[in-house]
Structure 1
Amino acid sequence: MLLNINTDPRDHSTCALSYEAENNWLRATWRGYVDPAEAMRGAQAYLHHAAQMPSPLLLNDNSQLRGPWFDSLDWLAEVWVPQASRLGLRYVAHVQQADRHSDIIPARMPSSVPFELQIFQNLEDAQNWLRQCRIPS
């Protein structure tokens, strides 16, 4: 179920947020060249919708991004991460963009986040890992 989509009218880059009931996760799908303002709007949309439809699982799909992505990891670490954690986020599968040298999340995300963050090179592996996270230990 599509919850939110932000599209930049200049270049048609997007951030789409959906809830996948069969997997009980939220999915953020990023496409094109996303500038910092777009990235922040997408991240804030996640927080807004996670408050209404909490899920411990997030699939963050950057596989279709181009160029540098969201240069404000300080904002992510200081604002987004604590809020997402309070909303119940426990597992994040981050799929790297194709031009991985532009994806700063793996190299610069603080190591002490209050949820488990796994980095993947392809969507299928990320989905399989999140499915395993749903199984109670």
Structure 2
Amino acid sequence: MRREVKNQGGHTFLVLDYDQENNWLYLNWIGYQNLFNIKQGLAEAWNMFRRYRFSKVLNDNRELVGPWDKANDWLEEELNPASAPIRIKYVAHIISPGIFGQLSIQDLQTRLINKVEIKLFEDINRAQDWLKSK
């Protein structure tokens, strides 16, 4: 099931696609992300989780622009297994080409070190192989 989420200007900022064969959710973040967009996008992800019950996410930031670390406090709480509406165990994260996006995921990875296994990749094929091994 594929879903596009649009910002207030009508531009797609997130594409979600549930991969039934591998039982994971693919998230493709596009352009600049603010806290409002991230919350809206993850609300869609939670809806897909309720339907499909996956525990793995392939998070793609190759089309992301700029930082998104302002959302890390909120994400830390949302992805905390003790309080999260869903239980994500593994996240294969394809890093953005820009340094600000890379610093944002490194910060989040540190915050969630014993809560969610996040592995960083530059290559989507390696990210998929890692998720398949989990």
Q: TM-score range by the shorter chain?
A: 0.7 to 0.9
Q: Per-residue displacement from partner, 1:22-65 (whole Å, max 9, x unpaired)?
A: 22111111111122211111122112221221112110111111
Give, in whole Å, the separation in 2 of the partners of 1:16 and 1:83: 27
Unaligned runs of 5+ in 2: none
Q: In the alignment, what sits opposite 1:15?
A: 14
Structure 1 position 86, deviation (Å): 5.9
Q: Per-residue displacement from partner, 1:80-110 (whole Å, max 9, x unpaired)?
A: 3337866332111011111133330113430
Question: Are positions 1:80 and 2:79 aligned together?
Answer: yes
Give, in whole Å, the separation in 2 of the partners of 1:57 and 1:84: 18
Using the size of structure 1 for normalisation, the TM-score is 0.82
1:82 alignment partner, SS class? coil
Structure 1 position 11, deviation (Å): 7.1
Q: In the alignment, what sits opposite 1:5?
A: 4
In structure 2, the CA distance between the partners of 1:16 and 1:70, relative to structure 1 (3 Å rule), is: farther
Using the size of structure 2 for normalisation, the TM-score is 0.84
- Kindly indicate whether the alpha-carbon contact (under 8 Å) linking 1:58 and 1:93 is maintained by their aligned counterparts in 2: yes
Q: In the alignment, what sits opposite 2:107?
A: 107
Give, in whole Å, the separation in 1 of the partners of 2:8 and 2:85: 33
Give, in whole Å, the separation in 2 of the partners of 1:84 and 1:94: 22
Structure 1 position 122, deviation (Å): 2.0
Structure 1 position 70, deviation (Å): 4.8
Aligned length: 132
Unaligned runs of 5+ in 1: none
Q: CA RMSD in A?
A: 2.2
